[in-house]
Structure 1
Amino acid sequence: MRIPVSRALRRMADHAQMAKTQEEVDSYKHQAQEVHHKINFLENCRPDIVGTIDRLKRRRAELAKEMEQITKEIAAEEKKLQELPTMISELKQKRQHLAREAIRLRRRVSEVSGSAESDQRIVESADQIRRRAIVAIDTFLGL
């Protein structure tokens, strides 16, 4: 009776081992399927990644151009800043020259007696007399 029991025990152990092995096989198959899905997902991501890289490279080129433009603008402003003291000095000299000329001209101008309005009235009165004289001459000559 020992032999059939031993065989039965061995077969039971074999069945248990086989069941355990089958579970491991199923586990590995499941893991392999998950890895396969990940591989497919990652392979399908390639065009998106390449597109993103291309977009980022274009953006980098745009930013490089913008950076170059900003660098030029900074250089231009720095040049203006360097030239500022010279320009201020030249303008101060010009202002001083203009002030001297104004003072010189003011000294040359003598004060005029009377007002411009009274002088204008005198000129208008003389002009009226001239017009009347022309009309009188035209009337006398019959023109």
Structure 2
Amino acid sequence: MQTPVSRALRHMADRAQLAKTWEEADSYKHRAQEVHQRINFLESCCPDVVVTIDRLKRRRAELAKEMEQITKDIAAEEKKLQELSSVITGLKQERQNLAREAIRLRRHMSEVPGSADDDQRVLDSAEQIKQRAIAAIDAFLEL
């Protein structure tokens, strides 16, 4: 049989244990509520994350297309550069041929004596003589 004191002590210990258990249960309940709030917050973020992922995937696709175009443009410019090199080589050869021809022609040119002004005066004088001769012939024929 139990004595009232030992029963009271046991009840006191049981109540202390019960209070501790209630505190622990409240703590777990509070932590569960915090976790629940975090879950709700994170779940509410999911649509935004999905939208961001979709936007980033579209942007990645756009950048891939742009990268492909840039790669094509680079290849075209590199091809132009290669062609340009051969065109420049051809033009250098043409320039050399033209310079040789100019030198050849200059070697065969001879100086023309006198000046262009002197030659023009001679031609003007001859024209005047011709005009006077025509006038004289016209005057003779009209007689």
TM-score by length of 1: 0.76
Aligned pairs for 1:19-98 within 5 A = 19-98=19-98
**Structure 1 residue ranges without an equivalent (≥5):** none
Equivalent AA in structure 1 for residue 5 of structure 2: V
Q: Distance in 2 between matches of 1:104 and 1:81?
A: 34
Could you tell which deviates more after superposition, 67-76 or 111-120? 111-120
Could you tell which deviates more after superposition, 62-71 or 14-23? 62-71
Q: CA deviation at 1:18?
A: 0.6
Distance change (3 Å), C-alpha of 1:54 and 1:118: farther
Equivalent AA in structure 1 for residue 92 of structure 2: K
Query: What's the % identity of the aligned pairs?
Result: 72
Equivalent AA in structure 2 for residue 58 of structure 1: R
Aligned pairs for 1:99-138 within 5 A = 99-119=99-119, 125=124, 129=128
Could you tell which deviates more after superposition, 13-22 or 74-83? 74-83
Q: Distance in 2 between matches of 1:8 and 1:103?
A: 133
CA RMSD between the two structures? 2.9
Equivalent AA in structure 2 for residue 23 of structure 1: E
Q: Distance in 2 between matches of 1:29 and 1:121?
A: 125
Aligned pair count reads 133
Secondary structure of 1:43's aligned partner: helix
**Structure 2 residue ranges without an equivalent (≥5):** none
TM-score by length of 2: 0.76
Q: CA deviation at 1:83?
A: 3.1
Q: CA deviation at 1:76?
A: 1.7
Q: Distance in 2 between matches of 1:121 and 1:57?
A: 88
